[in-house]
Amino acid sequence: MSAVLNAPWIARQATYLLAQRGHAWLLQGPSGLGQYELALALATAWLCEKPTAQGACGDCPSCHAVSVRTHADLAVLMPETVMLELGWPLSEKAQDEIDKKTRKPSKEIRVDAMRDAVAFSQRTDARGLGKAVLVFPAERMNTITANALLKTLEEPPGDVRFVLATEASHMLLPTIRSRCLAHTLKWPEADEALPWLSGQGVPTPAAQALLRSAGGRPNDVLRQAQAGLSPEWWAHLPKAMRQGDARHLADLTGAQAIDALQKLCHDLVLQQAGSAPRFFDTAHLPTSAASVLALTDWYKRLMQSARTAEHPFNAGLMLEALTADAQQTLLSKG
C-alpha cells in the first residue's frame, strides 16, 4: 500500500465509507485531498480476501494483484494520460496505437474504454468476491462516455460496485450525480499534514511553506515538491512576474503555470481589499497599483488560458505570453 493510501485522513474516511451500504459512490471535493487514493482504497477493500473494518489487509493475493495492476475483477477508467502517469496498463489495442504513433494518449476517458467496462461489469467475477469499477477523474467523461455508463450505474448487473472520484463534480451530468451516493473529501486535521509530509521526505520547514502555497492540501504539496516548486520558487514568483522573467516558469507545464499565477492574482485581490493573503507571505507580494478590476480581468484571462493549457500550440510561447500578461497587469495603474 502506498503512503498516500495510509494517510490518516484517507484511512479515516475509508473506514467510514466501508461501513456504509451502496453500490456506487461519488467522491468529490477540491484537488489535493486524495480522491484517487480514497477511491483505490475502497476498491481494494471491496475485493480483499481478508478485509477488516479499516479496509484491505494489504497482504492477500487480491491486494497484491491490485498493487501490481493486474486484478481481473477491477476495471480502472481513466484518461490514457492519467493511466500512464499512475502506472496502470492500457488495453493492448490502445498501447499498440500509441506505440505506433497513430495517435497520442487520450486526455479524456474514451467511450470505447467505457463500453469495455460495461461489458466487464456483466461478466462473472474471477475471484468470487465481486467486481469493482474505478473512474478517475470522472469529470473527464464526455457526454457520450457518461451516457454509456448511466444504465449500468442505475441497474448494476451482479455483484459490481462503482467508485467515481472527481475534482470538479459540477462538470458531471446531473444524471450521473443522482445515481451515486456522494461523499465530500475531508481536510486533514491540523496536526496530521506536517508529520505525514515529513514521512514522505518533505522537511518540516519546507512543508509548512508549501502547505500555504498548496492551500493546505497535502497531496498538492507532494506534487509541488516533485515538480521542483520549492518555497524559494514561490517566494520569488511575484518579483519574477513583475520583471517579466519568463524563465521562472520555464520548467512548468502550462497548467502548473496558470495555477501559480491564479494564486498570485487571488492574493493580490485580497491585498487590495485589505485582507491577509492565502497562498503567499505578505512580504513576498509586490506593492501593486493595479486595480481590483484589472486583477479580475487578468484572472478571467487566466481562466480562458486554462481551457487550452493541456494542448497549447507552442508551450514556450504560451509561458512567455502568460508572463507578459502578468507583468502588464502588475505594472498597471488604477
Q: Is residue 220 part of a domain?
A: no
How far apart, in whole angstroms, are the C-alpha atoms of residue 288 and residue 285? 9
Q: Is residue 291 part of a domain?
A: yes
Q: Where does a domain end: 131, 149, 184? A: 184
- Say yes or no to pLDDT of 264 above 50: yes
Q: Is residue 301 part of a domain?
A: yes
Please indicate, yes or no, whether residues 171 and 243 belong to a single structural domain of this protein: no
The grid coordinates of residue 162 equal 462503482
- What pLDDT does 244 receive? 96
Other CB atoms within 10 A of residue 196 CB:
21
The grid coordinates of residue 155 equal 441497474
CATH number at residue 65: 3.40.50.300
Give the residue from 208, 209, 207, 162 showing the smallest Cα distance to 183.
Answer: 162
Q: Is residue 209 part of a domain?
A: no
Q: Model pTM?
A: 0.84
Q: Where does a domain end: 152, 184, 216? A: 184
The number of domains in the chain is 2
Averaged pLDDT for residues 233-262: 94
Please indicate, yes or no, whether residues 35 and 146 belong to a single structural domain of this protein: yes
* Count of positions (residues) in the chain: 334
Please indicate, yes or no, whether residues 139 and 22 belong to a single structural domain of this protein: yes
Q: Is residue 216 part of a domain?
A: no
Q: What percent of the chain has pLDDT over 90?
A: 71
pLDDT tens digits along 107-158: 899 999 999 999 999 898 998 899 999 999 999 999 999 999 998 888 888 7
Please indicate, yes or no, whether residues 29 and 165 belong to a single structural domain of this protein: yes
H or E segment to which residue 162 belongs:
strand 160-165
Please indicate, yes or no, whether residues 318 and 254 belong to a single structural domain of this protein: yes
* Phi, psi dihedral angles at 16 (to 5 degrees): -65, -45
Secondary structure (3-state) at 334: coil
Q: Is residue 206 part of a domain?
A: no
Please indicate, yes or no, whether residues 18 and 128 belong to a single structural domain of this protein: yes
Please indicate, yes or no, whether residues 104 and 238 belong to a single structural domain of this protein: no
pLDDT tens digits along 195-222: 999 998 898 889 999 999 999 999 899 8
pLDDT tens digits along 3-59: 455 789 999 999 999 999 889 999 999 888 999 999 999 999 999 999 999 999 999
Range of the domain at 264: 227-331
Q: Where are the alpha helices (DSSP H) in the chain?
A: 8-18, 35-47, 61-67, 80-86, 92-99, 111-122, 143-154, 174-178, 193-199, 204-213, 218-226, 231-242, 254-272, 292-306, 315-331
Q: Where does a domain end: 159, 184, 209? A: 184
